[in-house]
Structure 1
Amino acid sequence: MKTVKEVSELTGISVRTLHYYDEIGLFKPTEVTEAGYRLYDDKAIEKLGQILVFRELDLPLADIKLIMDNPDLDRNSVLAKQREMLWLKKQRLERIIANIDNMLKGDHDMDFTVFDETELRAMFSDMLQNMNESQKQIFIDRYGSIEAWEKHMIEGASDEKVQKNYAKVVEWYGSKEAVKESLKNPPKSEVFTAYQKRIGSIQQKLADMKGTDVNSFEVRQLIGEYDFVAKQLYQVEDARPLLMDIAKGYQENEELAQGVDSVYGDGSAKYIGEAIEAFYMSPGFFK
Protein backbone atom coordinates (compact mmCIF):
# COMPACT_ATOMS: atom_id res chain seq x y z
CA MET A 1 0.00 0.00 0.00
CA LYS A 2 1.15 3.54 -0.78
CA THR A 3 0.19 6.77 0.95
CA VAL A 4 -1.23 9.71 -0.96
CA LYS A 5 2.16 11.44 -0.68
CA GLU A 6 3.92 8.42 -2.19
CA VAL A 7 1.38 8.24 -5.04
CA SER A 8 1.91 11.94 -5.64
CA GLU A 9 5.68 11.49 -5.85
CA LEU A 10 5.27 8.45 -8.11
CA THR A 11 2.91 10.07 -10.62
CA GLY A 12 3.67 13.78 -10.36
CA ILE A 13 0.04 14.50 -9.46
CA SER A 14 -0.29 16.90 -6.53
CA VAL A 15 -1.73 15.68 -3.23
CA ARG A 16 -4.41 18.36 -3.54
CA THR A 17 -5.47 17.01 -6.94
CA LEU A 18 -5.57 13.43 -5.64
CA HIS A 19 -7.80 14.60 -2.78
CA TYR A 20 -10.03 16.35 -5.32
CA TYR A 21 -10.26 13.22 -7.49
CA ASP A 22 -11.41 11.37 -4.36
CA GLU A 23 -14.03 14.04 -3.59
CA ILE A 24 -15.60 13.81 -7.05
CA GLY A 25 -15.49 10.01 -7.05
CA LEU A 26 -13.06 9.72 -9.93
CA PHE A 27 -10.17 8.08 -8.06
CA LYS A 28 -10.84 6.83 -4.57
CA PRO A 29 -8.29 5.25 -2.20
CA THR A 30 -8.27 1.50 -1.67
CA GLU A 31 -8.51 2.07 2.05
CA VAL A 32 -8.83 4.90 4.55
CA THR A 33 -7.28 4.28 7.96
CA GLU A 34 -8.96 5.13 11.25
CA ALA A 35 -6.69 8.16 11.40
CA GLY A 36 -8.05 9.32 8.01
CA TYR A 37 -4.99 8.48 5.89
CA ARG A 38 -5.66 7.43 2.29
CA LEU A 39 -3.90 4.27 1.09
CA TYR A 40 -3.65 2.92 -2.46
CA ASP A 41 -2.81 -0.57 -3.73
CA ASP A 42 -1.23 -1.50 -7.10
CA LYS A 43 -4.62 -1.91 -8.78
CA ALA A 44 -5.61 1.63 -7.77
CA ILE A 45 -2.35 3.03 -9.11
CA GLU A 46 -2.95 1.18 -12.38
CA LYS A 47 -6.37 2.85 -12.60
CA LEU A 48 -4.77 6.24 -11.95
CA GLY A 49 -2.43 5.55 -14.87
CA GLN A 50 -5.45 5.07 -17.15
CA ILE A 51 -6.98 8.31 -15.87
CA LEU A 52 -3.75 10.18 -16.62
CA VAL A 53 -3.73 8.82 -20.19
CA PHE A 54 -7.23 10.21 -20.75
CA ARG A 55 -6.19 13.53 -19.21
CA GLU A 56 -3.27 13.72 -21.64
CA LEU A 57 -5.89 13.42 -24.39
CA ASP A 58 -7.65 16.49 -22.96
CA LEU A 59 -10.77 14.56 -21.98
CA PRO A 60 -12.89 16.38 -19.38
CA LEU A 61 -12.84 14.79 -15.91
CA ALA A 62 -16.59 14.20 -16.08
CA ASP A 63 -16.13 12.16 -19.26
CA ILE A 64 -13.22 10.21 -17.75
CA LYS A 65 -15.36 9.36 -14.72
CA LEU A 66 -18.11 8.13 -17.03
CA ILE A 67 -15.64 5.92 -18.90
CA MET A 68 -14.02 4.53 -15.75
CA ASP A 69 -17.39 3.86 -14.07
CA ASN A 70 -18.94 2.15 -17.10
CA PRO A 71 -17.06 -1.00 -18.16
CA ASP A 72 -19.51 -1.46 -21.07
CA LEU A 73 -18.55 1.88 -22.61
CA ASP A 74 -16.48 1.44 -25.76
CA ARG A 75 -13.15 2.96 -24.77
CA ASN A 76 -11.78 2.38 -28.27
CA SER A 77 -14.49 4.66 -29.70
CA VAL A 78 -13.55 7.36 -27.20
CA LEU A 79 -9.88 7.01 -28.08
CA ALA A 80 -10.68 7.06 -31.82
CA LYS A 81 -12.59 10.32 -31.41
CA GLN A 82 -9.77 11.90 -29.44
CA ARG A 83 -7.31 10.68 -32.06
CA GLU A 84 -9.30 12.47 -34.74
CA MET A 85 -9.24 15.70 -32.75
CA LEU A 86 -5.50 15.43 -32.15
CA TRP A 87 -4.94 14.68 -35.84
CA LEU A 88 -6.81 17.86 -36.79
CA LYS A 89 -4.72 19.85 -34.31
CA LYS A 90 -1.60 18.23 -35.79
CA GLN A 91 -2.65 19.32 -39.28
CA ARG A 92 -3.14 22.90 -38.08
CA LEU A 93 0.25 22.92 -36.33
CA GLU A 94 1.94 21.53 -39.44
CA ARG A 95 0.31 24.28 -41.51
CA ILE A 96 1.56 26.92 -39.06
CA ILE A 97 5.08 25.41 -39.13
CA ALA A 98 5.02 25.42 -42.93
CA ASN A 99 3.97 29.07 -42.91
CA ILE A 100 6.83 29.95 -40.54
CA ASP A 101 9.29 28.04 -42.77
CA ASN A 102 8.06 30.05 -45.76
CA MET A 103 8.51 33.29 -43.84
CA LEU A 104 12.06 32.31 -42.92
CA LYS A 105 12.69 31.77 -46.62
CA GLY A 106 11.34 35.23 -47.39
CA ASP A 107 7.89 34.13 -48.55
CA HIS A 108 5.37 36.19 -46.62
CA ASP A 109 2.24 34.75 -48.26
CA MET A 110 0.83 32.67 -45.44
CA ASP A 111 -2.04 30.21 -45.86
CA PHE A 112 -4.53 30.41 -43.02
CA THR A 113 -7.32 28.55 -44.82
CA VAL A 114 -9.48 26.52 -42.45
CA PHE A 115 -12.58 25.95 -44.60
CA ASP A 116 -12.24 25.91 -48.40
CA GLU A 117 -14.88 27.28 -50.79
CA THR A 118 -16.64 23.92 -51.23
CA GLU A 119 -16.95 23.49 -47.47
CA LEU A 120 -18.17 27.07 -47.01
CA ARG A 121 -20.89 26.67 -49.64
CA ALA A 122 -22.09 23.45 -47.99
CA MET A 123 -22.09 25.14 -44.58
CA PHE A 124 -24.00 28.11 -45.99
CA SER A 125 -26.62 25.74 -47.45
CA ASP A 126 -27.04 23.94 -44.11
CA MET A 127 -27.34 27.23 -42.26
CA LEU A 128 -29.90 28.53 -44.75
CA GLN A 129 -32.08 25.42 -44.42
CA ASN A 130 -32.37 25.98 -40.68
CA MET A 131 -33.38 29.65 -40.90
CA ASN A 132 -36.99 30.83 -40.95
CA GLU A 133 -38.22 33.38 -43.49
CA SER A 134 -37.95 36.36 -41.14
CA GLN A 135 -34.32 35.50 -40.39
CA LYS A 136 -33.54 35.19 -44.10
CA GLN A 137 -35.23 38.51 -44.80
CA ILE A 138 -32.76 40.32 -42.52
CA PHE A 139 -29.89 39.27 -44.79
CA ILE A 140 -31.87 39.87 -47.98
CA ASP A 141 -32.52 43.46 -46.82
CA ARG A 142 -28.83 43.91 -46.07
CA TYR A 143 -27.29 42.30 -49.18
CA GLY A 144 -30.11 42.46 -51.73
CA SER A 145 -30.56 38.72 -52.16
CA ILE A 146 -29.61 35.33 -50.74
CA GLU A 147 -27.17 34.86 -53.63
CA ALA A 148 -25.49 38.20 -52.89
CA TRP A 149 -25.21 37.28 -49.21
CA GLU A 150 -23.57 33.94 -50.08
CA LYS A 151 -21.15 35.68 -52.46
CA HIS A 152 -20.23 38.19 -49.77
CA MET A 153 -19.56 35.40 -47.27
CA ILE A 154 -17.45 33.33 -49.69
CA GLU A 155 -15.38 36.29 -50.84
CA GLY A 156 -14.90 37.56 -47.29
CA ALA A 157 -13.72 34.12 -46.15
CA SER A 158 -10.39 34.62 -47.91
CA ASP A 159 -9.50 37.33 -45.40
CA GLU A 160 -6.82 36.19 -42.93
CA LYS A 161 -8.74 37.50 -39.91
CA VAL A 162 -11.91 35.66 -40.98
CA GLN A 163 -10.01 32.39 -41.34
CA LYS A 164 -8.45 32.90 -37.91
CA ASN A 165 -11.96 33.30 -36.53
CA TYR A 166 -12.92 30.04 -38.24
CA ALA A 167 -9.90 28.40 -36.61
CA LYS A 168 -11.11 29.65 -33.24
CA VAL A 169 -14.58 28.17 -33.84
CA VAL A 170 -13.00 24.82 -34.80
CA GLU A 171 -11.06 24.96 -31.52
CA TRP A 172 -14.30 25.54 -29.61
CA TYR A 173 -16.05 22.60 -31.25
CA GLY A 174 -13.05 20.27 -31.33
CA SER A 175 -13.10 19.53 -35.06
CA LYS A 176 -14.28 20.85 -38.43
CA GLU A 177 -16.84 18.07 -38.65
CA ALA A 178 -18.35 19.12 -35.32
CA VAL A 179 -18.75 22.69 -36.62
CA LYS A 180 -20.49 21.42 -39.75
CA GLU A 181 -22.75 19.15 -37.71
CA SER A 182 -23.79 22.05 -35.47
CA LEU A 183 -24.95 23.97 -38.56
CA LYS A 184 -26.92 20.97 -39.80
CA ASN A 185 -28.64 20.39 -36.47
CA PRO A 186 -28.87 23.67 -34.53
CA PRO A 187 -31.04 23.89 -31.41
CA LYS A 188 -34.65 24.96 -31.99
CA SER A 189 -35.24 28.70 -31.70
CA GLU A 190 -37.29 28.40 -28.50
CA VAL A 191 -34.60 26.21 -26.93
CA PHE A 192 -31.88 28.64 -28.04
CA THR A 193 -33.81 31.55 -26.49
CA ALA A 194 -34.33 29.64 -23.23
CA TYR A 195 -30.61 28.90 -22.91
CA GLN A 196 -29.71 32.52 -23.70
CA LYS A 197 -32.05 33.70 -20.94
CA ARG A 198 -30.49 31.24 -18.53
CA ILE A 199 -27.01 32.53 -19.33
CA GLY A 200 -28.27 36.07 -18.80
CA SER A 201 -29.61 35.03 -15.40
CA ILE A 202 -26.28 33.43 -14.46
CA GLN A 203 -24.35 36.54 -15.48
CA GLN A 204 -26.72 38.73 -13.46
CA LYS A 205 -26.19 36.54 -10.37
CA LEU A 206 -22.43 36.76 -10.88
CA ALA A 207 -22.62 40.54 -11.27
CA ASP A 208 -24.60 40.75 -8.03
CA MET A 209 -21.71 38.94 -6.29
CA LYS A 210 -19.03 41.46 -7.31
CA GLY A 211 -16.50 41.72 -4.51
CA THR A 212 -16.96 38.09 -3.48
CA ASP A 213 -13.87 35.87 -3.80
CA VAL A 214 -14.03 34.33 -7.29
CA ASN A 215 -12.82 31.04 -5.80
CA SER A 216 -15.75 30.82 -3.38
CA PHE A 217 -18.10 27.85 -3.68
CA GLU A 218 -21.06 30.06 -4.68
CA VAL A 219 -19.19 31.71 -7.56
CA ARG A 220 -17.66 28.45 -8.77
CA GLN A 221 -21.11 26.84 -8.68
CA LEU A 222 -22.47 29.58 -10.97
CA ILE A 223 -19.59 29.21 -13.43
CA GLY A 224 -20.13 25.45 -13.38
CA GLU A 225 -23.73 26.07 -14.38
CA TYR A 226 -22.53 28.53 -17.05
CA ASP A 227 -20.24 25.78 -18.40
CA PHE A 228 -23.13 23.30 -18.56
CA VAL A 229 -25.54 25.68 -20.30
CA ALA A 230 -22.88 26.78 -22.81
CA LYS A 231 -22.32 23.14 -23.79
CA GLN A 232 -26.03 22.72 -24.47
CA LEU A 233 -26.46 26.04 -26.26
CA TYR A 234 -23.44 25.81 -28.55
CA GLN A 235 -23.43 22.00 -28.78
CA VAL A 236 -19.79 21.68 -27.76
CA GLU A 237 -18.29 18.87 -25.68
CA ASP A 238 -15.89 21.19 -23.86
CA ALA A 239 -16.99 24.76 -23.14
CA ARG A 240 -13.64 25.80 -21.68
CA PRO A 241 -12.06 27.27 -24.89
CA LEU A 242 -15.23 29.23 -25.65
CA LEU A 243 -15.73 30.61 -22.15
CA MET A 244 -12.05 31.41 -21.72
CA ASP A 245 -12.25 33.49 -24.91
CA ILE A 246 -15.31 35.23 -23.48
CA ALA A 247 -13.41 35.88 -20.24
CA LYS A 248 -10.51 37.38 -22.19
CA GLY A 249 -12.87 39.60 -24.18
CA TYR A 250 -14.64 40.79 -21.04
CA GLN A 251 -11.31 41.85 -19.52
CA GLU A 252 -9.43 43.17 -22.56
CA ASN A 253 -12.05 44.44 -25.05
CA GLU A 254 -13.14 47.84 -23.77
CA GLU A 255 -16.16 48.09 -26.07
CA LEU A 256 -17.40 44.62 -25.11
CA ALA A 257 -16.84 45.32 -21.41
CA GLN A 258 -18.83 48.56 -21.62
CA GLY A 259 -21.70 46.68 -23.25
CA VAL A 260 -21.75 44.08 -20.48
CA ASP A 261 -21.44 46.72 -17.76
CA SER A 262 -24.33 48.68 -19.26
CA VAL A 263 -26.55 45.64 -18.66
CA TYR A 264 -25.22 44.27 -15.36
CA GLY A 265 -23.51 47.25 -13.73
CA ASP A 266 -20.02 48.78 -13.65
CA GLY A 267 -17.22 46.27 -13.17
CA SER A 268 -19.40 43.27 -14.03
CA ALA A 269 -17.49 42.28 -17.17
CA LYS A 270 -14.14 42.27 -15.37
CA TYR A 271 -15.53 40.29 -12.42
CA ILE A 272 -17.29 37.70 -14.61
CA GLY A 273 -14.12 37.31 -16.69
CA GLU A 274 -12.01 36.78 -13.57
CA ALA A 275 -14.54 34.26 -12.20
CA ILE A 276 -14.47 32.23 -15.42
CA GLU A 277 -10.67 32.19 -15.48
CA ALA A 278 -10.45 31.18 -11.81
CA PHE A 279 -12.87 28.31 -12.40
CA TYR A 280 -10.94 26.80 -15.31
CA MET A 281 -7.44 27.55 -14.04
CA SER A 282 -7.90 25.96 -10.63
CA PRO A 283 -5.98 22.71 -9.96
CA GLY A 284 -8.01 19.58 -10.65
CA PHE A 285 -10.68 21.50 -12.58
CA PHE A 286 -13.70 19.19 -12.94
CA LYS A 287 -15.03 19.82 -16.45
Structure 2
Amino acid sequence: MRTVKQVSSLTGVSVRTLQFYDEIGLFKPTEVTDAGYRLYDDASLEILQQILFFKELDFTLKEIKEIMDNSKFDKSEAFKKQRVFIEMKRDRLNGLLILLEKLEKGEHVMSFEKFDMDDYFKALDEFKKAYINEIVNKYGCTETFDEMVNELKSNESQLSQLAIKQYGSLEKFTEVSKKNLEKFLQINAEAVDVEESIKKTDYLTRKLTEDLSKDVYSEEIQNKVGELIDWCDESNNGLNLGENYWPLMVDNYLTNPIFINVNDKKYGEGASVFIGKVVKAYFS
Protein backbone atom coordinates (compact mmCIF):
# COMPACT_ATOMS: atom_id res chain seq x y z
CA MET A 1 0.00 0.00 0.00
CA ARG A 2 1.21 3.54 -0.78
CA THR A 3 0.41 6.83 0.90
CA VAL A 4 -0.90 9.79 -1.04
CA LYS A 5 2.55 11.40 -0.96
CA GLN A 6 4.17 8.23 -2.34
CA VAL A 7 1.58 8.03 -5.13
CA SER A 8 2.21 11.71 -5.90
CA SER A 9 5.95 11.13 -6.08
CA LEU A 10 5.51 8.05 -8.29
CA THR A 11 2.99 9.54 -10.76
CA GLY A 12 3.78 13.24 -10.77
CA VAL A 13 0.18 14.04 -9.81
CA SER A 14 0.09 16.54 -6.96
CA VAL A 15 -1.25 15.59 -3.54
CA ARG A 16 -3.94 18.26 -3.82
CA THR A 17 -5.06 16.86 -7.17
CA LEU A 18 -5.29 13.33 -5.76
CA GLN A 19 -7.35 14.68 -2.86
CA PHE A 20 -9.61 16.51 -5.29
CA TYR A 21 -10.10 13.34 -7.37
CA ASP A 22 -11.19 11.63 -4.15
CA GLU A 23 -13.60 14.43 -3.29
CA ILE A 24 -15.39 14.25 -6.65
CA GLY A 25 -15.47 10.43 -6.61
CA LEU A 26 -13.18 10.01 -9.62
CA PHE A 27 -10.28 8.27 -7.92
CA LYS A 28 -10.88 6.89 -4.45
CA PRO A 29 -8.16 5.49 -2.16
CA THR A 30 -8.17 1.76 -1.52
CA GLU A 31 -8.72 2.51 2.15
CA VAL A 32 -8.56 5.35 4.66
CA THR A 33 -6.86 4.73 8.02
CA ASP A 34 -8.41 5.65 11.35
CA ALA A 35 -6.07 8.63 11.37
CA GLY A 36 -7.50 9.77 8.00
CA TYR A 37 -4.56 8.81 5.79
CA ARG A 38 -5.39 7.73 2.23
CA LEU A 39 -3.76 4.46 1.09
CA TYR A 40 -3.58 3.06 -2.46
CA ASP A 41 -2.82 -0.42 -3.79
CA ASP A 42 -1.51 -1.41 -7.25
CA ALA A 43 -5.04 -1.93 -8.64
CA SER A 44 -5.96 1.66 -7.77
CA LEU A 45 -2.82 2.92 -9.50
CA GLU A 46 -3.98 1.21 -12.70
CA ILE A 47 -7.19 3.24 -12.43
CA LEU A 48 -5.17 6.43 -12.04
CA GLN A 49 -3.12 5.50 -15.08
CA GLN A 50 -6.33 5.13 -17.08
CA ILE A 51 -7.54 8.54 -15.88
CA LEU A 52 -4.26 10.17 -16.98
CA PHE A 53 -4.59 8.66 -20.45
CA PHE A 54 -8.06 10.17 -20.80
CA LYS A 55 -6.76 13.53 -19.56
CA GLU A 56 -3.99 13.45 -22.15
CA LEU A 57 -6.75 13.17 -24.78
CA ASP A 58 -8.44 16.32 -23.39
CA PHE A 59 -11.42 14.59 -21.78
CA THR A 60 -12.94 16.58 -18.92
CA LEU A 61 -12.97 15.07 -15.43
CA LYS A 62 -16.75 14.78 -15.66
CA GLU A 63 -16.46 12.89 -18.95
CA ILE A 64 -13.79 10.57 -17.54
CA LYS A 65 -15.92 9.76 -14.49
CA GLU A 66 -18.98 9.02 -16.62
CA ILE A 67 -16.97 6.74 -18.90
CA MET A 68 -15.31 4.80 -16.12
CA ASP A 69 -18.52 4.51 -14.08
CA ASN A 70 -20.26 2.94 -17.07
CA SER A 71 -20.92 -0.76 -16.49
CA LYS A 72 -19.92 -1.46 -20.11
CA PHE A 73 -16.51 0.19 -19.73
CA ASP A 74 -13.84 -2.14 -21.15
CA LYS A 75 -10.35 -1.17 -19.99
CA SER A 76 -8.58 -3.23 -22.62
CA GLU A 77 -10.66 -1.77 -25.46
CA ALA A 78 -10.18 1.74 -24.05
CA PHE A 79 -6.40 1.32 -24.21
CA LYS A 80 -6.64 0.35 -27.90
CA LYS A 81 -8.70 3.42 -28.78
CA GLN A 82 -6.55 5.71 -26.65
CA ARG A 83 -3.47 4.45 -28.45
CA VAL A 84 -4.97 5.43 -31.82
CA PHE A 85 -5.84 8.94 -30.62
CA ILE A 86 -2.45 9.46 -28.96
CA GLU A 87 -0.58 8.23 -32.05
CA MET A 88 -2.49 10.75 -34.14
CA LYS A 89 -1.59 13.46 -31.65
CA ARG A 90 2.06 12.35 -31.75
CA ASP A 91 2.13 12.47 -35.55
CA ARG A 92 0.71 15.99 -35.60
CA LEU A 93 3.30 17.14 -33.04
CA ASN A 94 6.13 15.46 -34.93
CA GLY A 95 5.06 17.31 -38.05
CA LEU A 96 5.07 20.60 -36.16
CA LEU A 97 8.54 19.89 -34.75
CA ILE A 98 9.92 19.23 -38.23
CA LEU A 99 8.37 22.46 -39.48
CA LEU A 100 9.77 24.43 -36.51
CA GLU A 101 13.23 22.97 -37.08
CA LYS A 102 13.18 24.21 -40.68
CA LEU A 103 11.93 27.64 -39.64
CA GLU A 104 14.66 27.91 -36.97
CA LYS A 105 17.23 27.29 -39.70
CA GLY A 106 15.80 30.21 -41.64
CA GLU A 107 14.07 28.13 -44.32
CA HIS A 108 10.97 29.63 -45.90
CA VAL A 109 8.33 26.89 -45.78
CA MET A 110 5.30 28.13 -47.69
CA SER A 111 3.47 24.80 -48.03
CA PHE A 112 3.49 21.21 -46.81
CA GLU A 113 6.10 18.93 -48.27
CA LYS A 114 4.87 16.31 -50.67
CA PHE A 115 5.20 12.75 -49.56
CA ASP A 116 6.38 10.16 -52.05
CA MET A 117 3.25 8.68 -53.64
CA ASP A 118 5.10 6.85 -56.44
CA ASP A 119 4.37 3.40 -55.01
CA TYR A 120 0.67 4.18 -54.72
CA PHE A 121 0.30 5.39 -58.31
CA LYS A 122 2.42 2.47 -59.52
CA ALA A 123 -0.03 0.15 -57.72
CA LEU A 124 -2.95 1.85 -59.49
CA ASP A 125 -1.25 1.33 -62.84
CA GLU A 126 -0.61 -2.35 -62.07
CA PHE A 127 -4.22 -2.71 -60.94
CA LYS A 128 -5.46 -1.25 -64.21
CA LYS A 129 -3.41 -3.73 -66.23
CA ALA A 130 -4.50 -6.71 -64.11
CA TYR A 131 -8.21 -5.82 -64.10
CA ILE A 132 -8.63 -4.16 -67.49
CA ASN A 133 -11.73 -6.22 -68.40
CA GLU A 134 -13.42 -5.61 -65.04
CA ILE A 135 -12.74 -1.87 -65.28
CA VAL A 136 -14.29 -1.71 -68.75
CA ASN A 137 -17.33 -3.65 -67.53
CA LYS A 138 -17.67 -1.31 -64.55
CA TYR A 139 -17.10 2.05 -66.23
CA GLY A 140 -17.65 1.31 -69.93
CA CYS A 141 -14.10 2.40 -70.79
CA THR A 142 -10.66 2.87 -69.21
CA GLU A 143 -10.73 6.67 -69.69
CA THR A 144 -12.94 7.11 -66.63
CA PHE A 145 -10.43 5.24 -64.49
CA ASP A 146 -7.58 7.33 -65.96
CA GLU A 147 -9.45 10.54 -65.15
CA MET A 148 -9.83 9.39 -61.55
CA VAL A 149 -6.08 8.71 -61.28
CA ASN A 150 -5.22 12.09 -62.82
CA GLU A 151 -7.51 13.82 -60.32
CA LEU A 152 -5.71 12.04 -57.48
CA LYS A 153 -2.32 13.08 -58.87
CA SER A 154 -3.42 16.72 -59.05
CA ASN A 155 -4.17 16.56 -55.30
CA GLU A 156 -1.15 14.44 -54.37
CA SER A 157 -0.03 16.52 -51.39
CA GLN A 158 -3.46 16.57 -49.73
CA LEU A 159 -3.99 12.89 -50.52
CA SER A 160 -0.70 11.85 -48.92
CA GLN A 161 -1.42 13.79 -45.73
CA LEU A 162 -4.92 12.30 -45.46
CA ALA A 163 -3.62 8.79 -46.22
CA ILE A 164 -1.08 8.92 -43.40
CA LYS A 165 -3.62 10.28 -40.92
CA GLN A 166 -6.28 7.73 -41.87
CA TYR A 167 -4.18 4.59 -42.45
CA GLY A 168 -1.03 5.26 -40.43
CA SER A 169 1.42 5.11 -43.33
CA LEU A 170 1.56 5.38 -47.13
CA GLU A 171 2.58 1.72 -47.31
CA LYS A 172 -0.57 0.65 -45.45
CA PHE A 173 -2.68 3.02 -47.54
CA THR A 174 -1.31 1.55 -50.77
CA GLU A 175 -1.84 -2.04 -49.59
CA VAL A 176 -5.42 -1.39 -48.47
CA SER A 177 -6.24 0.60 -51.62
CA LYS A 178 -5.45 -2.43 -53.80
CA LYS A 179 -7.88 -4.60 -51.82
CA ASN A 180 -10.52 -1.86 -51.80
CA LEU A 181 -10.34 -1.50 -55.58
CA GLU A 182 -10.78 -5.24 -56.02
CA LYS A 183 -13.81 -5.21 -53.73
CA PHE A 184 -15.23 -2.14 -55.45
CA LEU A 185 -15.19 -3.89 -58.81
CA GLN A 186 -17.10 -6.80 -57.28
CA ILE A 187 -19.88 -4.60 -55.92
CA ASN A 188 -23.01 -4.76 -58.01
CA ALA A 189 -23.76 -1.15 -58.93
CA GLU A 190 -27.48 -1.87 -59.30
CA ALA A 191 -27.60 -3.15 -55.71
CA VAL A 192 -26.17 0.11 -54.35
CA ASP A 193 -28.72 2.93 -54.15
CA VAL A 194 -26.50 5.94 -53.46
CA GLU A 195 -29.39 8.37 -53.10
CA GLU A 196 -31.14 6.11 -50.61
CA SER A 197 -27.91 5.65 -48.68
CA ILE A 198 -27.46 9.43 -48.38
CA LYS A 199 -31.07 9.84 -47.25
CA LYS A 200 -30.71 7.24 -44.51
CA THR A 201 -27.43 8.76 -43.30
CA ASP A 202 -29.14 12.15 -43.10
CA TYR A 203 -32.15 10.67 -41.29
CA LEU A 204 -29.98 8.96 -38.66
CA THR A 205 -27.90 12.12 -38.18
CA ARG A 206 -31.06 14.21 -37.66
CA LYS A 207 -32.26 11.70 -35.09
CA LEU A 208 -28.93 12.01 -33.29
CA THR A 209 -28.94 15.82 -33.29
CA GLU A 210 -32.63 16.53 -32.65
CA ASP A 211 -31.78 17.67 -29.10
CA LEU A 212 -28.26 19.06 -28.73
CA SER A 213 -28.71 19.54 -25.00
CA LYS A 214 -28.70 15.78 -24.40
CA ASP A 215 -25.88 14.14 -22.43
CA VAL A 216 -23.48 12.69 -25.03
CA TYR A 217 -22.86 9.68 -22.73
CA SER A 218 -26.55 8.88 -22.20
CA GLU A 219 -27.75 5.47 -23.32
CA GLU A 220 -30.27 7.10 -25.68
CA ILE A 221 -27.63 9.15 -27.53
CA GLN A 222 -25.08 6.34 -27.60
CA ASN A 223 -27.67 3.97 -29.09
CA LYS A 224 -28.43 6.54 -31.80
CA VAL A 225 -24.81 7.14 -32.71
CA GLY A 226 -24.19 3.39 -32.68
CA GLU A 227 -26.97 3.00 -35.24
CA LEU A 228 -25.42 5.74 -37.40
CA ILE A 229 -21.91 4.30 -37.21
CA ASP A 230 -23.16 0.78 -37.99
CA TRP A 231 -25.00 2.14 -41.02
CA CYS A 232 -21.94 4.05 -42.26
CA ASP A 233 -19.83 0.90 -41.96
CA GLU A 234 -22.49 -1.17 -43.73
CA SER A 235 -22.97 1.33 -46.56
CA ASN A 236 -19.23 1.20 -47.30
CA ASN A 237 -19.78 -2.37 -48.55
CA GLY A 238 -16.82 -3.81 -46.69
CA LEU A 239 -14.29 -1.28 -47.97
CA ASN A 240 -11.44 -0.66 -45.51
CA LEU A 241 -11.43 3.01 -44.51
CA GLY A 242 -8.41 2.69 -42.22
CA GLU A 243 -8.06 2.17 -38.49
CA ASN A 244 -7.88 5.92 -37.90
CA TYR A 245 -11.00 6.78 -39.90
CA TRP A 246 -13.30 7.46 -36.96
CA PRO A 247 -10.68 9.26 -34.82
CA LEU A 248 -9.99 11.44 -37.86
CA MET A 249 -13.71 12.09 -38.28
CA VAL A 250 -13.92 13.10 -34.61
CA ASP A 251 -11.09 15.57 -35.17
CA ASN A 252 -12.91 16.99 -38.21
CA TYR A 253 -16.23 17.36 -36.38
CA LEU A 254 -14.53 19.13 -33.48
CA THR A 255 -11.96 21.35 -35.22
CA ASN A 256 -12.36 21.46 -39.02
CA PRO A 257 -14.06 24.77 -39.96
CA ILE A 258 -15.55 23.28 -43.13
CA PHE A 259 -17.07 20.31 -41.26
CA ILE A 260 -18.37 22.59 -38.51
CA ASN A 261 -19.93 25.05 -40.95
CA VAL A 262 -21.64 22.38 -43.08
CA ASN A 263 -23.02 20.35 -40.16
CA ASP A 264 -24.12 23.35 -38.12
CA LYS A 265 -26.03 24.76 -41.10
CA LYS A 266 -27.72 21.44 -41.71
CA TYR A 267 -28.39 20.18 -38.18
CA GLY A 268 -28.28 23.30 -35.99
CA GLU A 269 -25.72 25.52 -34.27
CA GLY A 270 -23.29 23.37 -32.30
CA ALA A 271 -24.28 20.15 -34.07
CA SER A 272 -20.81 19.39 -35.44
CA VAL A 273 -19.10 19.61 -32.04
CA PHE A 274 -21.97 17.63 -30.50
CA ILE A 275 -21.53 14.83 -33.08
CA GLY A 276 -17.76 14.86 -32.52
CA LYS A 277 -18.16 14.50 -28.76
CA VAL A 278 -20.76 11.74 -29.17
CA VAL A 279 -18.57 9.70 -31.54
CA LYS A 280 -15.54 10.28 -29.31
CA ALA A 281 -17.52 9.00 -26.32
CA TYR A 282 -18.76 5.99 -28.33
CA PHE A 283 -15.23 4.81 -29.12
CA SER A 284 -14.05 5.44 -25.58
* TM class, shorter-length: 0.5 to 0.7
Letter of the 1:42 counterpart: D
The 1:111–1:12 alpha-carbon spacing in structure 2 relative to 1, beyond 3 Å, is same
Whole-angstrom CA distance in 1 between matches of 2:39 and 2:223: 30
Matched position secondary structure for 1:185: helix
1:245 is displaced (CA, Å) by: 1.0
Structure 2 counterpart of 1:222:
224
Whole-angstrom CA distance in 1 between matches of 2:133 and 2:202: 24
Match of 2:76 among 62, 66, 77: 66
Q: Quick check: 1:252 aligned with 2:255?
A: no
Structure 2 counterpart of 1:118:
119
Letter of the 2:274 counterpart: A
Say which one has the larger Rg: 2
Q: Deviations over 1:216-274 (max 9, x none)?
A: 72334433554566677534256132133145434324xx766xx3xxxxxx1545313
1:213 is displaced (CA, Å) by: 3.1
Match of 1:97 among 76, 97, 100: 100
Whole-angstrom CA distance in 1 between matches of 2:246 and 2:138: 29
Letter of the 1:117 counterpart: D
Mark the runs of 5 or more structure 1 residues left unpaired by the alignment.
23-27, 33-38, 70-74, 262-267
Q: Indicate conservation of the 8 Å contact 2:167/2:243, yes or no.
A: yes
TM-score normalised over the length of structure 2: 0.54
Structure 2 counterpart of 1:164:
158
Whole-angstrom CA distance in 1 between matches of 2:49 and 2:90: 21
Whole-angstrom CA distance in 1 between matches of 2:269 and 2:230: 21
Whole-angstrom CA distance in 2 between matches of 1:12 and 1:192: 54
Match of 1:241 among 248, 254, 267: 248
Structure 1 counterpart of 2:21:
15
The 1:240–1:150 alpha-carbon spacing in structure 2 relative to 1, beyond 3 Å, is closer
Mark the runs of 5 or more structure 2 residues left unpaired by the alignment.
33-37, 60-66
Mapping of residues 22-33 of structure 1, within 5 Å? none
Matched position secondary structure for 2:272: helix
> How large is the Cα RMSD of the aligned pairs?
5.6
Q: How many percent identity over aligned positions?
A: 14
Whole-angstrom CA distance in 1 between matches of 2:92 and 2:199: 33
Match of 1:173 among 160, 167, 177: 167
Q: Indicate conservation of the 8 Å contact 1:246/1:273, yes or no.
A: yes
The 1:278–1:136 alpha-carbon spacing in structure 2 relative to 1, beyond 3 Å, is same
